[in-house]
Chain A
Amino acid sequence: MKVGLIAMSGVRVRNPELAALGVTLPQFVSRGKVIASLPSLGLLTVAGLTPEDCEIEYRELADLPGEKDELERFDLVGISSFTAQIDEAYRLADRYRDAGVPVVLGGLHVSLQPEEAAEHADCVVLNGAEGAWPQVVRDFRASRMRPRYEGLRSGVFEEQAYARPRFDLLEGRAYNRVTVQTSRGCPLDCEFCAASLRITASFQQKPVDKVVAEIRAALAVVERPFFELADDNTFINKKWGKEFLRALRPLGIRWFTETDVSVADDEELLDLLAESGCSQVLIGFENPDAGGLEGLDPHNWKQRRAEGYLRAIDRIQSRGVSVNGCFILGLDSHDPGIFERVRDFVARSGLLEVQVTVQTPFPGTPLYERLRREGRLLTERYWDQCTLFDVTYRPKHMSVAELESGLRWLFSELYNAEEFTQRKRRYMEIVKQRL
């Protein structure tokens, strides 16, 4: 049996003026390009869960033949996609099904919009693949595959459910970045978040030995890769974090992750972070001050931490680990003054990298439900605009046009060549102090 696993990659900004800005601003598109060029950890995990006697082919969208060419033959096809490319994924699924190849759709969007996805698939898999995919394959072989399977929402890293992702499928491909996951979910539960917390019952942490074994497996097939942890919030558990960082130290790798600002609370953790080869942590500050953060998460955790943002950035970066500070524009607290406030905060903070995105009501999130209830979504269905840069709803204290033009202005303020050079110089001076 030959299974084709196809990853949809390459999110594109739809707003033409913003897309054009990407050509001239050096840092604007860099993170997006990185994300688009990462292999699909979800599908490599699906491959790991597939019985050994199945032949597996991993494909990226770019590997596939053109629309008029004949499709590669598989007995079963699995497709995973972000929301922004889901329509492209549906078109591909339809093509395979028209050619007589059964299709399974999975991933975050499919988990949150299963009825929609079911119109383009023989089977949809909800949540993670753990606890579902092995049964899908067994049932397919017995010609009794069901239209819907539900993967586990807890215990995904326990022995009976866990499978190591098949990094060997990347051998010979030109990846210089590899993703590894250490956890799923996040207890902060921010209203806008469309990440793995939507498909987990609670925060799930992978044992350190399993993560290290995965890193070693990736190192065996990809030469000197840069590792990206595909986590929503890696250092929730500081004790686990220290154990993990001590285990990373001897591996000599360089890596990146996403976490929250509390990582800066613990000096020992910060020292270990630097010693373990951590290059950058991405932190969602979302707003430059506490005033604009009320109600963003159910416990106002981010609002309570906002006062310490500048100190936290300084403590992390003083170790030579850069902070990629993320801000969301268009929160309900934002008026047209927010763009200058973000620019001023970034200038004061010494942040070495900045990521500014527009608030995006991804389907299935509490934000989406609220804005829909309030009648503020611009259209009923806008999945291809879920790029994090396209405006899809009516902001509360400014117009759509003000949000779009403010965003463009802020991009040109933050991502121009002069700012980029200044950030580089700032980083070098920090490094020199630590050498």
Chain B
Amino acid sequence: MKSKETDARLRAVLAKMAKQDVDAIGVEEDLIERLGLDSLQGLRVLAALEKSFQVRFEDGSLGELRTIRSLLDAIREARKEPTS
């Protein structure tokens, strides 16, 4: 999957789970703070991303997946795609 498509799909999942417009969020912004998510909501977002992209993030990295950049990297890593 091309990175633009991945980014768009990731943002669509985020928007649906957080019930907010996420188009303007920068790739390095902290999503928990920006979207005002509590810790369980954060995990729900990760679960939705895993389901949507058919991947499984590494358990030890869950706490670090707080930006769009880190999520994109984790999705690529889980699919073993080369970083762009």
Contact = CB atoms under 8 A, between A and B. Distances in A.
Contacts of B51: 432, 435
Contacts of B48: 431-432, 435
Contacts, number: 44
A421 B63 CA distance: 9
Interface in A393-434: 421-422, 424-425, 427-429, 431-432
Contacts of B38: 226, 254, 279
Nearest to A430: B47
Contacts of B50: 428, 432
A223 interface: yes
A424 B59 contact: yes
Interface residues of B, number: 16
Interface residues of A, number: 20
A279 B41 contact: yes
A421 B19 CA distance: 26
Nearest to B18: A224
Nearest to A352: B40
Contacts of B41: 254, 279
Contacts of A279: 38, 40-41
Contacts of B46: 428
Interface secondary structure of B, over-half rule: helix
Contacts of A223: 36
A176 B33 CA distance: 11
Interface secondary structure of A, over-half rule: mixed
Interface in B45-84: 46-48, 50-51, 59-60, 62-63
B43 interface: yes
A362 to B, nearest CB: 29
Contact of B40 (A322, A421, A425): A322
Nearest to A427: B43
B82 to A, nearest CB: 26
A32 to B, nearest CB: 15
Interface string B16-48: 000100000000000000001010110110111
Nearest to B61: A421
A42 interface: no
Contacts of B63: 424
Contacts of A254: 38, 41
A320 interface: yes
A365 to B, nearest CB: 32
A196 interface: no
Contacts of B60: 421
Nearest to A26: B63
A252 B43 CA distance: 18
A422 B50 CA distance: 16
Interface string A351-374: 000000000000000000000000
A428 B51 CA distance: 10
A280 interface: yes
27 contacts: A176-B36, A223-B36, A224-B36, A226-B38, A252-B19, A254-B38, A279-B38, A279-B40, A320-B44, A421-B62, A424-B43, A424-B59, A424-B63, A425-B59, A427-B43, A427-B47, A428-B43, A428-B44, A428-B50, A428-B62, A431-B44, A432-B47, A432-B48, A432-B50, A432-B51, A435-B47, A435-B48
The 9 A-B residue pairs whose C-beta atoms are closest, nearest first, are: A431-B47, A428-B47, A224-B36, A432-B47, A432-B51, A421-B59, A279-B40, A431-B44, A226-B38
Interface of B: 19, 36, 38, 40-41, 43-44, 46-48, 50-51, 59-60, 62-63
Given A223-B36, A424-B62, A428-B44, 14 more contacts: A254-B38, A279-B38, A279-B40, A280-B40, A421-B60, A424-B59, A428-B50, A429-B47, A431-B43, A431-B47, A432-B47, A435-B47, A435-B48, A435-B51
